Amino acid sequence: MIEHFPFERFGILAVQEPKKNYSCCGDSYFIKETGDYLLLTVADGLGSGKGARDASQVAIKTAQKYDDAPLEELMNIINDALLYYRGAVVSIFRIDFKSCLAKFCGVGNILLSVFPKLGKPITPLPEQGFLSGPPVKCRVHEFKYPEDAFFVIHSDGVSFRTDQLSAIHRIYEARTDDSECLLRPFSGENDDDRTLIIGKPYGKNKLCQKCFLSDLRRGLLFLLFNSKKKRESAFFFLSILLW
Ligand SMILES: [Mn+2]
């Protein structure tokens, strides 16, 4: 299954395939963008088939219902909801557009990687374990979401290395409904349900207005203090301020 989410700030592609010889996928996801934030929840039900699907669907429906709760609280609500189900591993990722902060909270092995234009990828690690009712430890990782960075989230059926970025870009651009073919470069050693989600911010509108303004201010100050013709640039700076 392939789904496109052409939101306001992010374009998102989700590709999903069940384990071989299974008709339903045990992974589920929920993706939402509002004017304030982008929220993704991905759940992988333990095992495979319908029991796994039921558990991951409970996790996702709960995330949908309480989507504005803080991440740690949301994780605990999902954990409670899974008490009478098989259990699931869950990761939640939220980007707040006002503060430019990204938060990630995960229990189990659904992994997130964020790729800035320059520099190392950001890969917050989830806690070990799974959700099925008993209390779990969950840590919320917080970082500034780099302007123009794209992200990848995947369940453990997908094997993704950070040197496969060109394949990620190819998948994102591909116009096909053959999810099996798209996921082939990322098939892990073990046959399992597979979910791969790619998110890219649109270049045309800046992800976060505040970041953009502070970058602009920093740029102007840089010009002012680094130019040989200081008086000229001071004049330029002042005229921009007055304008
Ligand atoms: Mn799995």
Centre of ligand 1 to C-alpha 219, Å, is: 46
pLDDT at residue 178, as a whole number: 85
State the distance from the centre of ligand 1 to the C-alpha of 102, rounded, in angstroms: 25
Distance (Å) from CA 128 to ligand 1 centroid: 14
pLDDT tens for 207-236 read 665 666 666 676 676 666 666 666 676 666
Q: CA 197, CA 10: separation in Å to the nearest integer?
A: 12
Other beta carbons within 10 angstroms of residue 152's beta carbon come to: 24
What are the φ/ψ torsions at residue 57 (nearest 5 degrees)? -70, -40
The CA-CA-CA angle for residues 203, 206, 211, to 5°, reads 135
The pLDDT of residue 177:
82
- The alpha carbon of 182 and the centre of ligand 1 are apart by a number of angstroms equal to 18
**Span from the CA of 192 to the centroid of ligand 1 (angstroms):** 6
pLDDT digits (tens, 9 = 90+) for 20-37: 888 899 999 999 999 999
Q: What is the pLDDT of residues 8-22, one digit of tens each?
A: 999 999 999 898 888
Centre of ligand 1 to C-alpha 200, Å, is 24
Mean pLDDT value across residues 123-138: 95
175-213 residue pLDDT tens: 888 888 778 888 877 788 999 999 999 875 566 656 666
Q: How far is the CA of 193 from the centre of ligand 1 (A)?
A: 6
93 CA from centroid of ligand 1 (Å):
18
Q: Look up tokens 């099925």; give the residue.
A: 132
C-alpha–C-alpha distance, residues 217 and 240, integer Å: 11
| Separation of CA 217 and ligand 1 centre (Å) | 46
How many whole angstroms from 122 Cα to the centroid of ligand 1? 22
Task: With a cut of 80, say whether residue 239 has pLDDT above it.
Answer: no
Predicted TM-score (pTM) of this structure: 0.84
Residue ranges per structural domain of the chain: 2-201, 209-242
pLDDT tens string 42-68:
999 999 999 999 999 999 999 999 999
Cα 75 to ligand 1 centre (Å): 18
- What is the CA(155)–ligand 1 centre distance, in A? 6
Q: Report the CATH fold assignment for 2-201.
A: Phosphatase 2c; domain 1 (3.60.40)
Distance CA 56, CA 24 (A): 12
Cα of 62 from ligand 1 centre, angstroms:
20
Residues forming beta bridges with residue 15, ordered by sequence position = 2, 196
Amino acid letter, residue 243: W
CA of 212 to the centre of ligand 1 (A): 39
Query: 156 CA distance to ligand 1 centroid (A)?
Result: 5
Q: How far is the CA of 72 from the centre of ligand 1 (A)?
A: 22
